[in-house]
Amino acid sequence: MKTKSMTWAQTGHRGPTLAKSMLWLLILLIGTILFATATGAVDVPLWVVAKIILNQLPFVELGGWEKTDEMIILTLRLPRVLLAVLIGGGLAISGAALQALFRNPMADPGVIGVSSGGALAAVIALATGFATTHSLALPASAFLGALGTLFLVYSISARQGRTPIATLLLSGIAVGIFMGAVLSLILTRIDSSAALREIFFWLMGGLDGQGWAQLKIALWPILISSVALLFFSRDLNLLYLEGESGAQALGMDVKGVQRWLLVLSALITGTAVAFSGTVPFVGLIVPHVIRLIIGPNHLTLLPATFLAGGTLLVGTDLAARTLAAPEELRLGTIAALIGVPFFLYLLQKDRKNSLS
């Protein structure tokens, strides 16, 4: 126990260093939001963007811009950018929680099959035409699919009142593969090229067409679940350092904590998948990088991870919007192109460190 406490103190960052890191992450997020909101088919000066956004605050009255610029910022770009912040931050913070729960830096929200379940339910809604019955039919289907998959994996893994992490992880991988196979089978049975195109576009991820209505719906499950995860910071620290048996010996209700962490992560992931499709690597890479910067204390790691995840997805969505303008690339494709090389670099770096 003494050795582990020393390791914690050595790996954690405290005082001015930690405060400076958090401040820089916040500044980077705000700067990225402003730049992404200003950039597009029609560029708007940064100072105009800042004034338009500040003008929405109570008791603030500013002017000096074109109505067209205000419409572009408030109607088209700002809600999409804020949704990217929300989804990127949510995926990252749930990834950090799952990595502590599984004590595995390779874990992410997709590892327990939640993303696959949400994707399958969304594809079924698109293939059957249910998605066209209401503007919220598609995100609702994806959300319910993600949540249903979580309970399926959990029920398969539970034995005599216990849920071993290794069993849960393997069950999630198996269910995810099965969901992927069913999804592929459905795709082979669709004759309409238009429907196939729509499904493939959704599966590759994207925030095109998302506005204030979608942001308001996604806000509460992701934000409330993310804040709730902060209350489990001490539990995550114990699980990360001591494992299941050690945490239980120290008085933690391991089963109850596991259940809550999984439900909250599924709520975040299911909501994210519902509104953005499948976006890989955010929940895997961001927690890993931030842990290296500020240390493994989840009281600070979780909010820092949320800020960094939001920044990454805003930048990724900006690249998707602008790299091939006027065409729009898929968000999931850009995320994978960025994430895979960076992930391989981290693996190679860790391998060199372990050999030295």
pLDDT band at 9 (very low <50, low <70, confident <90, very high): very low
The answer to whether the Cα torsion of 300, 85, 51, 36 is positive or negative is positive
Written out in words, the top-level CATH class of the domain with range 2-355 is: mainly alpha
User: How far apart, in whole angstroms, are the C-alpha atoms of residue 248 and residue 254?
Assistant: 6
User: How far apart, in whole angstroms, are the C-alpha atoms of residue 322 and residue 31?
Assistant: 18
What is the 3-state composition of the chain as percent helix, strand, coil, each rounded to the nearest 5?
75, 0, 20
Give me the residue spans of the domains in the chain.
2-355
pTM: 0.88
- Confidence (pLDDT) at 155: 83
Percent over 90 (pLDDT), the chain: 36
Quick: pLDDT tens for 103-124: 877 777 777 788 888 889 988 9
The answer to whether the Cα torsion of 96, 98, 104, 107 is positive or negative is negative
Alpha carbon 21 to chain centroid, angstroms: 21
User: How far apart, in whole angstroms, are the C-alpha atoms of residue 107 and residue 170?
Assistant: 12
- Average confidence score pLDDT of the chain: 85
User: How far apart, in whole angstroms, are the C-alpha atoms of residue 139 and residue 131?
Assistant: 9
- Confidence (pLDDT) at 46: 92
CA distances 243 to 97, 98, 100, 166, 240, Å, are: 14, 13, 9, 12, 6
Calculate mean pLDDT across residues 170-197: 86
Cα angle 331, 333, 334; round to 5: 70
